[in-house]
Amino acid sequence: MGKIFAVTLALIAILSAVPIVMNYWGPPEDISTHGHAIDEQMKDTMYEAGFSFLAAQFILGLFIWQYTGRKKGDKLKTFPGGAKGLVIAALVLVGTEILALGVIGQKAWASVYFAAPDKDAMTIQSQAGQFAFYFRYAGPDGKFGGMHPDKIDEGNQNFFGLDPENDVDARDDVISGELGVPVNRQVNLLLHSKDVGHSFYVRELRIQQDYVPGLDLAVHFTATKPGRYEIVCTQLCGLGHYNMKAYLNVMSQEDFDKWLKEKSGQ
C-alpha cells in the first residue's frame, strides 16, 4: 500500500501543478502602472511555493515507497545529519526565501501605499452603501460639497447627503454610478462608507481596499488601458453582497471630458 500511496501523491502533485503551469485561469491582464510589480512578486512566490510543494510531496512519497513493508532484519537508519542538519536547512532555505520575498517584495506594497498621490492626480470620491457604489467628481470649482448623513435620500438621488441649497461647493458636484477615469492619469480615490464595511476591488487594476465606516481612506492608481472593468465588493456587506458591482470606465482624456460633461448635465 505504501507504493500506491507514493504514486497517488506524485499524481496529485503533478495534476495540481498543471493548471498553474499551463496558466488556465490566471489573473486577467494588468492595466495599472503598479500592477506589474505585484504580478512579478506573485510569479516569484509561485516558483518558491511550487518548488517547496512539489519537493515535499515527492520526498514524502519516496520515503513512504521505500520504507514500508521492510523485512524483519532491516536495520533502522537515521537521516544523515540528523535534526541539526534539518534545522539549519530550514533556517537557511526559508530564511533566504523570507528575506527575498519579504524585504525585496515590499516594493510593490510601497508603490501603492507609501507614495503620496501626485499633485495633479484627479481626486474622485466614492461612496459604498448596501448594495451600490457611487462616485463623485468635484466639478469646475474643484471642491467637494460637505456630506450630511441626515440628508441622504436615495429616492431623490441624494446619495451623498449633499445640501446644495446652503452649500455652494456642493452645487456643481457630479455624481455617477460608474467610475469614469481618463487613461494614464493618476486617480486619487477617496473611499467613504455609508453604512457597513465594503471593499473596492478591480482585478485588472490590482487594487483592493476596504471601505471602513467612520474612517475615510484613500487609494491611488493610474489606469493604462481604455476599457470597461468590473468593480466588485469584496467585504461581506449583507444580503445583496453578491450583486454589489459597478464599472470602471477608462477613457481617453477627450472621451472622459465629454463623459463628465454629459454626467453633469443630468
Is 149 among the residues that bind another protein (CB under 8 A)? yes
Candidates 116-124, 164-172, 229-237, 252-260 — which segment interacts with another protein by CB under 8 A? 229-237
Q: Name the minimum Å distance from CB 21 to another protein.
A: 12
Q: Which grid coordinates are listed for 266?
A: 443630468
Is 196 among the residues that bind another protein (CB under 8 A)? yes
Smaller CB distance to another protein: residue 148 or 263?
Answer: 148
- What contacts 80, CB < 8 A, 6 or more positions away? none
Smaller CB distance to another protein: residue 191 or 256?
Answer: 191
Q: Which grid coordinates are listed for 182?
A: 481618463
| φ and ψ at residue 234, rounded to 5 degrees | -120, 10
| φ and ψ at residue 125, rounded to 5 degrees | -105, 140
Cα–Cα distances (Å) from 32 to 160, 202, 243, in that order, read 28, 10, 25
Pairing of strands 132-137, 122-129: antiparallel
Smaller CB distance to another protein: residue 113 or 141?
Answer: 113
Smaller CB distance to another protein: residue 49 or 260?
Answer: 49
> Which position among 171, 228, 245, 261 is part of the footprint of another protein (CB under 8 A)?
245
Q: Name the minimum Å distance from CB 150 to another protein.
A: 5
Is 194 among the residues that bind another protein (CB under 8 A)? yes
Give me the 26-45 binding string for another protein, x by CB under 8 A, dash otherwise: xxx--------xx--xx--x
Among residue numbers 86 through 125, which ones bind another protein (CB under 8 A)?
A: 86-87, 89-91, 93-95, 97-98, 101-102, 105-109, 112-114
Q: Name the minimum Å distance from CB 179 to another protein.
A: 16
Q: Name the minimum Å distance from CB 191 to another protein.
A: 8
Cα–Cα distances (Å) from 24 to 18, 21, 44, 45, 103, in that order, read 9, 8, 18, 18, 30
Place of cell 436615495: 154
C-alpha torsion angle, residues 43, 45, 50, 53 (rounded to 10)? -170
Is 177 among the residues that bind another protein (CB under 8 A)? no
3-state secondary structure of 259: helix
Q: Which grid coordinates are listed for 211?
A: 471601505
